[in-house]
Amino acid sequence: MTDHTVATTTRQVLLVVVFAVQLVLMLPPLVAHPHGPAAWVAYGLLTAVLAVVAGYVAAAVPTPGYLAVVPLVSSVLATTALPAGASFSPADWGFGLVGWYLLLVLVERPAALVAALTAHICFSIAWFAREGGGDVGTAGVVILSGTSFQLGVLVINRVLHRDAALAAEAAAEHDAARTREELARQREQDLRAGFEGQLGALLPLLADLADERASVADQTTRLRCSVAAVQLRRLFAENDDVPDPLLHELTACVDVAERRGVVVSLAVSGTATPVPTEVRRDLVAPMAQALAAANGRAKVSLLRTATEVRVAVVADAPETLPAPGRTGTVTVETNVHSGLVRSEARWRTT
Amino acid sequence: MADDVTAVVVDDHPVVRAGVAHWLSTADIELVASGEDPGVAWTGPGASAAVVVLDLHLGGVAPAMSELRKLVEYGRKVIVYSMRADDEIVLQCLEIGALSYLTKAEGADHLVQAVKAAAAGQSYTPPALAGALAGDRSDTRPALSPRETEVLVEWFQSESKEFVAQRLNITLSTVNSHLERIRVKYAAIGRQAPTKAALVARAIQDGLIGLDDL
């Protein structure tokens, strides 16, 4: 139960209680005893407050505190209109009822409620003392029983509020823990899926080598190893924190090819532009594949214009050609001219 | 024609001077002077050399832009030969009026061609320079046709004009004239320099480019 629910429920319950008290308990003594006309005015005022508060409750709007003035005025009117010496007697319909009204209006403002109740009780006692003739014992019982009941309701309301706050806090903490757990699981899953997806040719190759389905004596297997090596090296470079990640990945691939004895020249033009990781993957992949198969020489170039990022490779690599086509937003074009493979991946920045 | 081409090399590394001397000698280009100080291009035999091969980093930290500017303003045909391939510096050198910009990663072939072209007052665009032009994002850059851009990019990517010609299904001389036109367009912008004016004037005379294209 939240704070808000506690407040709403309290007001609804109090509304019913006050309605019942006013109609069932307090109307008969008002009718039965000879009150002054001010008593009826007080009764009317209180009924009006009941209607107004009912309206606020229905609209789920907090009751304004200044409304408490009306029950206090009614208290004065009802008390002064009492028949002589009737304070705290069965004829005193207003004392208990005004207390309930104050509770109804000020239940969410404990300090104001206590202050208003005190004023109400003090005035009633003062009037009782002034008029005289009543029984002090009965008056004490009436004051104590009525007020303690109302204060009891206030205390229960406060306790409920505190419990609701604690419960809400615990629920929020639980939710946050669940979210964290879910995020961690998602991240791990992403990482795993990402690696599996990007490891590409590596896992089947390792499986084949382990099962002796592939032999390193075989030229095709060596080519697969070479492709896997470049892919793996690029993957390692992918998460490095560098100012120019795309160039960093290209350099990583070039490095692997150079270790294999290929003479690679890398030319870079234009200034670094931010390129999303997926796009970088797609941009580098064809170049990495051609480079893995390259013999002798290769030229890798990275060009960044105002509107495009273009990664190209021109290599002596007859064996495997990067597939032309479109992956996501990257367009790959591959052709062979005079024995040289040219493969270019382009991405429009705008 | 062999003995007509003379050059002077300004570079602070003796090994580079020796290497360049050797490369030029194999192409029948006479190296008349070399040294680590730009003074060699102003006095003695170097003063009359047709082409100045200038290293941008002569010991100091800052590139030798003012040396380049002085030589160009005097009407010398300068090729910048630098370790650095920083696009901004490259474009700045062209703007000042260098006929070519070569990085030291580019080999003998490009240097020889650049010297020969410069001796004839022509530009030479090696692949790295083509890349810098293709990646040029400055506001003042000249408008290139799609074909010209494609030639620049392909030349940058492949380093082979034959390859570019085959790829784009054009002749080798068309590739060269596209590159020349691009350089003329670049020569027509920015600061005035005798070499740049000559490039533009000759291109217009030869009908390579119309006034409307500039």
Predicted confidence (pLDDT) per residue in A16-73, tens digit? 988 888 888 888 888 888 888 888 888 898 899 889 989 988 888 888 888 889 888 9
pLDDT(A265) > 60: yes
Residues in chain A: 350
* A31 and A86 within one domain: yes
* A206 and A154 within one domain: no
pLDDT(A155) > 80: yes
Q: Please report residues of B whose CB lies closer than 8 A to that of A265.
A: 105, 159
Q: For the ranges A163-172, A325-334, B93-102, which has the lowest average pLDDT?
A: A325-334
Q: Which residue in chain B has the smallest CA separation from A309?
A: B135
Distance CA B16, CA B33 (A): 14
* A334 and A262 within one domain: yes
Domain boundary among A113, A146, A170: A170
Whether A196 maps to a domain, the answer reads: no
pLDDT(A335) > 90: no
Q: For the ranges A262-271, B81-90, B105-114, which has the lowest average pLDDT?
A: B81-90
* A164 and A16 within one domain: yes
The whole-number pLDDT of residue A319 equals 67
The whole-number pLDDT of residue A231 equals 81
Average of pLDDT values for B137-159?
89
**Is residue A151 helix, strand or coil?**
helix
Quote the domain boundaries for residue A124: 3-170
* A149 and A11 within one domain: yes
Whether A36 maps to a domain, the answer reads: yes
Whether A165 maps to a domain, the answer reads: yes
Structure tokens at A199: 């490891």
* A208 and A165 within one domain: no
Backbone phi and psi for residue A109, each to the nearest 5 degrees, phi listed first: -125, 80
CATH at residue A227: 3.30.565.10
Average of pLDDT values for B76-103?
89
Residue A4, judged by CB atoms within 10 A of its CB (0-12, 13-18, 19+), counts as exposed
pLDDT(B2) > 50: no
Backbone phi and psi for residue B122, each to the nearest 5 degrees, phi listed first: -105, 160
* A260 and A157 within one domain: no
* pLDDT-based confidence at residue B175 (cuts at 50, 70, 90): very high
The whole-number pLDDT of residue B101 equals 93
Q: Do A269 and B134 touch (CB under 8 A)?
A: yes
CA A258 to chain centre: 51
pLDDT(B87) > 70: yes
* A206 and A63 within one domain: no
User: Quick check: ipTM above 0.90?
Assistant: no
- Average model confidence (pLDDT) across chain B: 88
Structure tokens at A338: 């005079």
Domain boundary among A146, A170, A194: A170
- Find, among A314, A291, A294, A282, the residue nearest to A200 by Cα: A282
Q: Do A270 and B153 touch (CB under 8 A)?
A: no
* A165 and A207 within one domain: no
Write out the DSSP string of A296-345. Answer: SEEEEEEEE-SSEEEEEEEE---S--PPPEEETTEEEEEEEETTEEEEEE
pLDDT(B1) > 50: no
pLDDT digits 0-9 by tens, B12-57: 899 999 999 999 999 989 999 998 888 888 988 888 899 999 998 8
Beta bridge partners of B78: B52
Q: How far is A203 from chain B (nearest CA, A)?
A: 33
Q: Which residue in chain B has the smallest CA separation from A297?
A: B158
Whether A181 maps to a domain, the answer reads: no
CB A250 within 8 A of CB A284: yes
- Whether A282 and chain B come into contact, CB under 8 Å, resolves to no
Whether A79 maps to a domain, the answer reads: yes
The whole-number pLDDT of residue A196 equals 66
Q: Do A310 and B127 touch (CB under 8 A)?
A: no
pLDDT digits 0-9 by tens, B194-212: 888 888 888 888 778 877 7
Long-range contacts of A91-95 (CB under 8 A, 24+ apart): A91/A29, A91/A32, A91/A33, A91/A35, A92/A29, A92/A142, A93/A25, A93/A26, A93/A27, A93/A29, A93/A30, A93/A39, A93/A43, A94/A26, A94/A39, A94/A42, A95/A120, A95/A124, A95/A142, A95/A143, A95/A146
Distance CA A38, CA A45 (A): 10
> Hunting for tokens 């995020």 — which residue is that?
A183
* A160 and A64 within one domain: yes
Domains of chain B: 2-213 (3.40.50.2300)
* A209 and A161 within one domain: no
* A223 and A290 within one domain: yes
Distance CA A293, CA A209 (A): 19
Distance CA B206, CA B200 (A): 10
**Is residue A37 helix, strand or coil?**
helix
Whether A22 maps to a domain, the answer reads: yes
Structure tokens at B96: 């000042």
Q: How far is B91 from chain A (nearest CA, A)?
A: 11
More confident site: A34 or A193: A34
Average of pLDDT values for A185-196?
77
Domain boundary among A170, A189, A219: A170
Choose among A271, A310, A314: nearest Cβ to B153: A310
Residue A192: which residues within 8 A CB-CB, separation 6 or more? Answer: none
Whether A301 maps to a domain, the answer reads: yes
Q: Which amino acid is at A123?
A: F
Q: For the ranges A42-51, A63-72, A200-209, A261-270, which has the lowest average pLDDT?
A: A200-209
Whether A93 maps to a domain, the answer reads: yes
Number of domains into which chain A is organized: 2
Report CA torsion sign: A93, A98, A104, A110.
Answer: negative
